[in-house]
């Protein structure tokens, strides 16, 4: 028994399964597409990826309608390819890493860009910009074997029916095995760990009432509708 009842973290639906995928942690890779790093005025670090995290409590499933978040006038979409782990990984090889992938999903790393920018300027953490309530959106997980090899699948995002992000997974600077090899040097990764692998170019602000629709070829889409601010 616990002292308080907390809101449950939703399991992520898995294609072909009746049981859902429980989420433990959410890791996000920064600047993993060169064209996006350039549009943000940043250099790409090809030596090693870097990360930030989002609270699992901020996970929402595709199809949600959420209020426009507080404290921002520059709420950005970031369409991402998400890796869901299904087995333990620590100091793994590339092959071991890929063998531990349970599946993949479409995700949105929604971002208070104004607050992230202020944090960068002041050399402060990104939490107010990135770890936003409802800002880790995820679609249905497709199992890795069904998805097949991560190669040059398209990754796209439309806002109100207008294409904003249009790239391929071949543009990932640090590919999935490289990220798993690197991240597993620092964490005991395992089932329930999601990794948002970064966003391609074309990020931008959305307004109250926006309808977002993201796709990666071979996966179920991710959809989000933003309502009015509270
Ligand atoms: Mn991102």
Q: What local confidence, expressed as pLDDT, does residue 60 receive?
A: 98
Calpha distance 83→172 (Å, rounded): 13
Quote the CA–CA distance of 13 and 140 in Å, as a whole number: 5
DSSP per residue over 127-141, as a string?
HHHHS-TT-EEE--B
Structural domains for the chain: 25-227 (3.90.850.10)
Each residue's pLDDT tens digit, 38-91: 898 888 888 899 999 999 999 999 999 999 999 999 999 999 999 999 999 999
How far away, in angstroms, is 81 Cα from ligand 1 center? 10
> What are the structure tokens assigned to 82, written together?
């998400």
Distance 196 CA to ligand 1 centre (A): 7
- 14 C-alpha vs ligand 1 centroid, how far in Å? 23
Report CA(143)–ligand 1 centroid distance (Å).
22
- What is the token pair recorded at 126? 């990104």
C-alpha of residue 44 to centroid of ligand 1, in Å? 14
5 CA to middle of ligand 1, Å? 31
4 CA distance to ligand 1 centroid (A)?
A: 32
User: How far is the C-alpha of 133 from the C-alpha of 151, rounded, in Å?
Assistant: 32
Phi, psi of 195 (to 5 degrees): -125, 110
Cα 168 to ligand 1 centre (Å): 15
Question: 195-217 pLDDT, tens per residue?
Answer: 999 999 999 999 999 999 999 99
Ligand 1 centre distance from Cα of residue 107 (Å): 9
The one-character DSSP state at 11 is P
Instruction: Give, rounded to a whole angstrom, the gap between the first and last alpha carbons of the chain.
Output: 33
**Do 40 and 168 meet the contact criterion of CB atoms below 8 Å apart?**
no
DSSP 8-state code for residue 159: E
For 126-136, the pLDDT digits (tens) are 999 999 999 99
Q: Ligand 1 centroid to 28 CA: how many Å?
A: 6
Task: Evaluate if residue 114 carries a pLDDT over 90.
Answer: yes
Q: How far is the CA of 78 from the centre of ligand 1 (A)?
A: 6
The two three-digit tokens of residue 81, written as one number: 């390819």
For the chain, the average pLDDT equals 97
Residue 35 tokens, joined: 């064209």
């Amino acid at each position: 028994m616990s002292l308080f009842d907390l809101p449950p973290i939703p399991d992520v639906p898995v294609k072909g399964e009746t049981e859902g995928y429980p989420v433990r942690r959410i890791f996000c890779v920064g600047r993993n597409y060169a064209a996006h790093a350039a549009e943000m005025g940043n250099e790409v670090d090809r030596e090693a990826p870097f990360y930030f995290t989002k609270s699992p409590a901020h996970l929402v499933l595709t199809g949600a309608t959420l209020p426009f978040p507080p404290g921002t006038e520059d709420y950005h979409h970031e369409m991402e390819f998400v890796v869901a782990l299904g087995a333990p990984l620590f100091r793994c090889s590339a092959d071991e890493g890929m063998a531990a992938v349970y599946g993949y999903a479409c995700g949105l790393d929604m971002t208070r860009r104004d607050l992230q920018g202020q944090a960068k300027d002041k050399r402060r953490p990104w939490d107010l910009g990135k770890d936003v309530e409802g800002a880790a959106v995820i679609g249905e997980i497709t199992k890795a074997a069904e998805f097949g090899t991560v190669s040059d699948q398209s990754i796209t995002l439309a806002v109100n029916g207008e294409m904003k992000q249009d790239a391929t997974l071949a543009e990932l600077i640090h590919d999935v095995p490289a990220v798993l090899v690197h991240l597993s040097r620092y964490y005991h990764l395992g089932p329930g760990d999601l990794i948002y692998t970064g966003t391609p170019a074309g990020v931008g602000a959305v307004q109250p009432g926006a309808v977002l629709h993201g796709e990666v070829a071979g996966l179920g889409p991710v959809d989000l509708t933003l309502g009015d601010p509270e």
